[in-house]
Structure 1
Amino acid sequence: MNSLLTNKTALVTGASRGIGKAMALKLADEGAAVVINYIKSKNEADLLAASINEKGGRAIAIQADVSKPGEIKRLFDETEQAFGNIDIVIANAADAIVKPLANCSEEDYDRIFNTNTKGVFFILQEAAKRIRDNGRIIVTSTGGTKMFFSETSLYLGSKGAVEQFVRVLSRELGNRKITVNALSPGFTDTDLLPERDRQVATDMSPLKRIGDPEDVAEVALFLASHAGRWITGQNIGAGGGVF
């Protein structure tokens, strides 16, 4: 019996751990050939690819720093060399700094915006050129852009920009039946969630828990599948009701 993503190829950036890992696993479970992008976590990425392959799936890990457009191009090149045409691109890689705006340096700004904003822009540009008709493009944003938190100016500013990229690109690719959406997790149990926020996150959700990466990955699967064909240019919240 065919799975939801049989004969599809998916590229997931920042996929060696956390939400990206859960997305890669979910897409692979539904039949997609998956490219697991990482920057430093080689062991984790290789183990994830091996676990997918051992279960009968198809996956490879590719190192690339998505803050550098040249490496993004190489990432897409190697994806096509491995699995052919690309059907699904998830721009998930991100970095965060928790620091008062007044204390942020130029180096802090460049670090966050180079990965979270510049990187996503050029991933979207490459995806627009290469993804097949009827493809799916998803950008991981954050529910924080709908809320107010101290010491998150760089992170939330960088994510606010990519939400606008999504809206514009959805208009530019709609004639090819390609959907482009942002997916905004709420508080999720990853290494990007500060310890200070864990109890308040639990209290804020009507469901009284922090999200699991798989909670977000299930929504990504919906958007990446045929079921998500009528949703584009949207920012889909997956935050357990906190925003």
Structure 2
Amino acid sequence: MSLSGKVVLITGAAKNLGAEIARSLAPLGPSLALHYNSQASKEAADALTKELVAANPENKVKFYTGDLRTAGAVEKIFKDVLQDFKRIDIVVNTVGKVLKKSITEISEEEYDDMFAINSKAAFFILKEAAKHVSHGGKIVTIVTSLLAAFTGMYTSYAGSKAPVEHFTRGVSKELQGRRISVNAIAPGPMDTRK
């Protein structure tokens, strides 16, 4: 499969799953518009850029930063990517936060933060992707296997990811006429300590 001439936007791409997806797609030839949240991830973003360009010198790779917990920040990322690349063919949203904690210990602030990162950001990324992804493009959201095989202590995490499945199904139906594939992937546990 070739993605030559395509533009892929991956949110949460400096580390962990997002970075692995960028590494997997890069040899297929797309331009990569990659996002990271804050200065804390800048060093990882710079290292990944060097790695991807060294391995795939024909690819254009550019990172964008922003806290996607606000609709305005999501809109800005899409606007900036479109300005730089002129199109977006594939969007992969890997933005997420895990909290392993008993419900009796979860504060209101933690609850709000989990839903802002896992649900609200996903909603507005889907909204902007629905507006801007090219006809015949692809949108992928990351949910969690904990929705099917609940293990406890992840109440706020699984609960904040559950709406994303429903958002994804709804957007899939809305975009059928433009032949845009919209899917949710539910990976299991990952080692993110690297």
> Structure 1-normalised TM-score?
0.76
Q: Alignment length, in residue pairs?
A: 190
The match for 1:136 among 135, 138, 148 is 138
SS at match of 1:35: strand
The match for 1:190 among 176, 189, 192 is 192
Counterpart in 2 of 1:43?
43
Counterpart in 1 of 2:94?
92
The match for 1:149 among 134, 148, 151 is 151
Matched-pair contact (CA < 8 Å) for 1:94–1:115: yes
Tell me how far apart the structure 1 counterparts of residues 120 and 148 of structure 2 sit (CA, whole Å): 21
Tell me how far apart the structure 1 counterparts of residues 87 and 50 of structure 2 sit (CA, whole Å): 22
The residue identity in structure 1 corresponding to 2:11 is: T
Greater per-residue strand proportion: 2
SS at match of 1:87: strand
Matched-pair contact (CA < 8 Å) for 1:4–1:31: yes
SS at match of 2:134: coil
How far off its partner does 1:21 sit? 0.2
Counterpart in 2 of 1:215?
none
Deviations 1:133-186 (A, max 9, x none): 001000011111101212101100111110011111100001100010001111
| Stretch of structure 1 that moved more, 67-76 or 46-55 | 46-55
1:63-78 → structure 2 map (5 Å cutoff): 63-78=65-80
Unaligned 5+ residue runs, structure 2? none
Moved over 2 A (4+): none
The residue identity in structure 1 corresponding to 2:102 is: P
Matched-pair contact (CA < 8 Å) for 1:46–1:60: no
Counterpart in 2 of 1:117?
119
The match for 2:32 among 31, 34, 57 is 34
Aligned residues: CA RMSD: 1.3
How far off its partner does 1:190 sit? 1.7
SS at match of 1:97: coil
Unaligned 5+ residue runs, structure 1? 193-243
The residue identity in structure 2 corresponding to 1:141 is: V
> Structure 2-normalised TM-score?
0.94
How far off its partner does 1:191 sit? 3.5
Matched-pair contact (CA < 8 Å) for 1:28–1:58: no
Deviations 1:83-136 (A, max 9, x none): 111000011111111111121111011111001100000000000011110010
Tell me how far apart the structure 1 counterparts of residues 21 and 84 of structure 2 sit (CA, whole Å): 20
Tell me how far apart the structure 1 counterparts of residues 96 and 162 of structure 2 sit (CA, whole Å): 13
The residue identity in structure 1 corresponding to 2:37 is: I
Matched-pair contact (CA < 8 Å) for 1:52–1:58: no
Q: Percent identity?
A: 35
How far off its partner does 1:19 sit? 0.8
Tell me how far apart the structure 1 counterparts of residues 155 and 125 of structure 2 sit (CA, whole Å): 23
Deviations 1:9-42 (A, max 9, x none): 0110111111110101112211111111001201
